[in-house]
A and B are shown apart, each in its own frame.
Chain A
Amino acid sequence: MDLRLVTEPTASNLAGAAREMELGPGRVLAVLLAEEDRPDLDQVVAQLGRLDLEFWGAVVPSLIYGAKAVSRGALLVALEAETQPVLVRGLEREQFPDSELRGIEESARGAQTAIVLVDGLAANVSGLLSELFTRLGNRVNYIGGGAGSLSLEQSPCVFTRDGAFQDAAVIAFCKQATRLGVRHGWSHLEGPVVATRTKGNTIYELNWECAFEVYRDAVAPYIDLELSHENIFQVTNAFPFGIHKEGDEDVVRDPVAVGKDGELICVGAVPENVVLNILRGDAESLILAAGQAASDCCEGPPIRARGSFVVDCVSRTLFLGDEFPRELGMVRSRLDPIAADEPLCGMLSLGEISSDGEGFVQFLNKSIVTAVFHD
């Protein structure tokens, strides 16, 4: 996999680096920009737009390069793709406009992997993924994640030759196959609680009462501080919600903020009437889970790896703190049997996307997705 790390990510430096890469027909340039000191997206689009190449990209909280988190810079990856990246808009709407995916089947023809970057703070990422799965099913593996800023302030964060967009997604269809592993390492602590009133990614009521109050009472025995609107992220980062998935780990929902009426705002949709559990984890369980995700990629007959890619939830870095390099180191070492020569790269995300092999594609939180591209 042809990839470059640009440490001074000005628009002109990005264009210069792109010129040096092999980006002829059948290749598409993926550009991941770390949010710190990132260049103006319109300038990036303008500079890259002058080159004779197809490109797409996103702003993400941080990059992963060489098994380390990189908070400043840009990662440029040349992907083997026969069709142009697809821009999908309208993710703010409650009913996802399925007309946005018109012609997606044609774009996916001949591809084995769909790389999906979405505005991680858009309300209806799940609607997009449901519709995508309805149309493409398991013809492709899905990997990707949520773009945006760790400040949780929404702004245009995905881009193509057409410009930079908010409440949007960009999807590239890659010719190469992938092996995927998805894990998180969180386990049940409290519950169940019923999300009795929700809309998109906002939980208004739990057990028919104010969501914040129910959550506060549920976690109170496990924390040493009084939960408030100000410190909620500090607590929820350690006690997320889990949605049951039979035969698998729960799908995690991360409440990242609380609204003025006590509503909990999550990354990713929470269906109304879903039954939630409150989860807990520790550094060991998370790092072991990350290692297991990498090991899952190594299962099966021998393959010739062409690259590896990791989408790791940014909240895991916050939770793990100084232990976070251990997580990436574990992934690196577990991938060695099949991808020792491939540099580990990827992104820290606001929500993760994976079909877990053949499975139903879902928007996940607080999870790590590992992918090994191969022929």
Chain B
Amino acid sequence: MTEHHELSGVLQDLAVLYELSLCVGGSLELKENCDSFLRTLMARKNLEYVAVWILESAISGEAVDGGSRYTLVYANPGSRGTRAALPLDHALVERLGDGGAYSACSRDPDFEVLVTEAEIQRGAFAVFPLGDHGLLKLYSSTRDQAFTQVELSKLRHVVEKFAVSLAGCLDHDRVRTAEQRRRDLEDQMLHAQKLESLGVLAGGIAHDFNNLLTAILGNAELARPGLEAAPAQEHVENVVGAASRAAELCSQLLAYSGGSCYVSGPVHLGELVEEMLRLTSVTISKKASIHREMIAELPPVEGNATHIRQVVMNLVTNASEALEDTTGDITVRTGVTRVGLSELTEYLLGDQRQAGDYVYLEVEDSGCGMEPGTEMRLFEPYYTTKFTGRGLGLAAVLGIVRSHHGAIRVRSRLGEGTQVRVLLPMSSKSSGEKAVVPAREGPTRAGVALVVDDEASVRKLLTHALEREGFRVLQAADGGEALELFQDCHAEIDLVLLDLTMPVLNGDEVMQRMRLVDPDVRIVLSSGYSDPGVESRAGGGPTAFLEKPFRLAELKAVIGTVMATGSPPSPLLESRSPAEGRVPPS
């Protein structure tokens, strides 16, 4: 080689290295940085393919369970790479351990094991380490010889510089991801707070309306017997019908507020899901194929069976409606899952829960899915995407999940479907669902009843109703007045109908003090808005609970049972609705 050629060769090498070195680190974005450096490398070195593999642990910045592996983070052309990951013992990686960059051409016996791309039968690879966190693979189809050691050495330093710049990109990416996660968490917390505020508001409204509805329903029912065949009868029936529908809405609102879980105990989710799938089979789309993926031996969850039934029904109904009259699948899954703190961040209410084992209920459909952003509003009361919907179904689900100390996650892709997963804490009790004594039409007997309610219309209604049952009725408009009366007359009082939510001295406190005076007193606690922990008060709970609004028949049945069974305070008696065995929660 002449001196001139040597000089021009060195100049050419310097020219390429100069340009390449200035292409490195032009951006903190990994793809842009790779594009800038590697496209130039391809153009100058006449390469047809380049790829960058990075250790998973270097990408995440955390140790990876079960050992790390290499992930393909950049390939040009992107269509050529056929593998997304490489194990640490792959030949491409292992050969790097022998001392840095190496090359192999199609004539070499081990060439084939290095091929991780489509349609490569000839040419040569050069493979460089990228620090201790990755590798760079170059390919030329036109070579029938491997890259020489000198060629590899020429590129060594600039590739090292590229490796350092990639480490910077990965750091930047981790910081950005952490920041994004923090923002997401903050957004989620704000959203949860907003929903909680809405819940408080909804619960308060439902409580007040339930009191009013109790009076409306009760008075309308009291008026009925005198109106047989009278023209006003139809109007009164209309009042009862409308008030009942209003009560159902209040029930949903109260469920959303999370303030309606009066009775809880171990619930077997699997049995309950099967029961609801049987019940809903007549209402869900005939074009839906239901699939069950359920664990047989599922531990019980702590909760209220009626409310969990409502969750199952609402989720399955939503899934069915998402199919929009097309053929599709609904898959219902149950099981136990261990959820870590980072996974909990994906769940609404997850920030209020502990990491650990949860029972899950998952309903997935292959329906229309949702626009991005819709998920955030799904649980707001009165938000609906359906023409006929009220927007209370999922709001109620959220309230029930909240009152059960659970969490909920929605994943959806437009046109592909939606998956909703509910986490529920496992019950610490080993037995089956707490026995609920069914209320029956019991014998009533005349006696003295004390009616305590701050709402005059309700007090008046109860007085009328009890008097019709033969009771002599004492009335108190607040807790203080009630306690005074009870102190004076407890020996005569057979029954106390006590409102839970009253100003100054609430029903719970009144009940405790009455029990101090007479531990055996029969107390029927009623409310349109209740504290879920009412049954577990020190000193004992009520003999029965009556949810507002109630029908006179229900009142009569509860009183009958209480008077027949007598002694308080356990087991707790629940009122029942005509339709489903429960009054809508209020």
Hey, which chain A residues are within 8 Å of B45, CB to CB? Answer: 246
A245 partner, pick from B43, B79, B80, B119, beta carbons under 8 A: B43
Q: Does A251 contact B (CB under 8 A)?
A: yes
Task: Please name the residue on chain B nearest to A271 by beta carbon.
Answer: B40
- Interface residues of chain A: helix, strand, loop or mixed (majority): mixed
Q: Does B42 contact A (CB under 8 A)?
A: yes
A248 in contact with B76 (CB, 8 Å): no
Q: Does A194 contact B (CB under 8 A)?
A: yes
- Interface residues of chain B: helix, strand, loop or mixed (majority): helix
A360 in contact with B78 (CB, 8 Å): no
Of the listed stretches B46-54, B59-67, B235-243, B264-272, name the one at the interface; the rest are far from the partner chain: B46-54
Docked complex Cα distance between A247 and B142 (Å): 9
Q: Encode B23-35 as 1/0 by CB contact (under 8 A) with A.
A: 1000000000001
Docked complex Cα distance between A312 and B442 (Å): 104
Q: Does B327 contact A (CB under 8 A)?
A: no
A137 partner, pick from B12, B18, B79, beta carbons under 8 A: B79
B46 in contact with A360 (CB, 8 Å): yes
A273 in contact with B22 (CB, 8 Å): yes
Given A244-B16, A271-B19, A273-B22, verify A138-B43 contact (CB < 8 Å): no
User: Which residues in window 343-367 of A have CB below 8 A to B?
Assistant: 358-360, 362
Q: Does B39 contact A (CB under 8 A)?
A: yes
A246 in contact with B44 (CB, 8 Å): yes
Docked complex Cα distance between A196 and B44 (Å): 17
Total B residues in contact with A, Cβ cutoff 8 Å: 28
B19 partner, pick from A130, A135, A139, A273, beta carbons under 8 A: A273
A358 in contact with B141 (CB, 8 Å): yes
Task: Please name the residue on chain B nearest to A251 by beta carbon.
Answer: B43
Task: Please name the residue on chain A nearest to B23 by beta carbon.
Answer: A273
Q: How far is the CB of A183 from chain B (nearest CB, A)?
A: 15
Q: Does A192 contact B (CB under 8 A)?
A: yes
Hey, which chain B residues are within 8 Å of A247, CB to CB? Answer: 46, 142
Q: Does A136 contact B (CB under 8 A)?
A: yes
Total A residues in contact with B, Cβ cutoff 8 Å: 28
Task: Please name the residue on chain A nearest to B11 by beta carbon.
Answer: A192
Hey, which chain B residues are within 8 Å of A360, CB to CB? Answer: 42-43, 46-48
Interchain pairs with CB closer than 8 A, number: 73
Q: How far is the CB of A132 from chain B (nearest CB, A)?
A: 9
Q: Encode A131-169 as 1/0 by CB contact (under 8 A) with B.
A: 001111111000000000000000000000000000000
A274 partner, pick from B19, B76, B119, B142, beta carbons under 8 A: B19
* Interface CB pairs A-B, < 8 A, 16: A105-B79, A134-B77, A135-B78, A137-B48, A138-B77, A194-B15, A244-B16, A245-B46, A247-B46, A271-B19, A271-B40, A275-B18, A358-B141, A359-B142, A360-B47, A360-B48
- 14 new A-B contacts, CB < 8 A, other than A133-B76, A244-B16, are A130-B35, A134-B78, A137-B49, A137-B80, A138-B80, A192-B15, A194-B18, A243-B44, A274-B19, A275-B19, A359-B46, A359-B142, A360-B42, A360-B48
Given A134-B78, A359-B142, verify A246-B46 contact (CB < 8 Å): yes
Docked complex Cα distance between A243 and B23 (Å): 16
Task: Please name the residue on chain A nearest to B39 by beta carbon.
Answer: A130
Q: How far is the CB of B146 from chain A (nearest CB, A)?
A: 14
Given A137-B49, A138-B119, verify A244-B12 contact (CB < 8 Å): yes
Docked complex Cα distance between A200 and B328 (Å): 52
Q: How far is the CB of A244 from chain B (nearest CB, A)?
A: 6
Hey, which chain A residues are within 8 Å of B12, CB to CB? Answer: 192, 244
Docked complex Cα distance between A246 and B23 (Å): 18
Docked complex Cα distance between A273 and B12 (Å): 14
Q: Encode A231-247 as 1/0 by CB contact (under 8 A) with B.
A: 00000000000011111
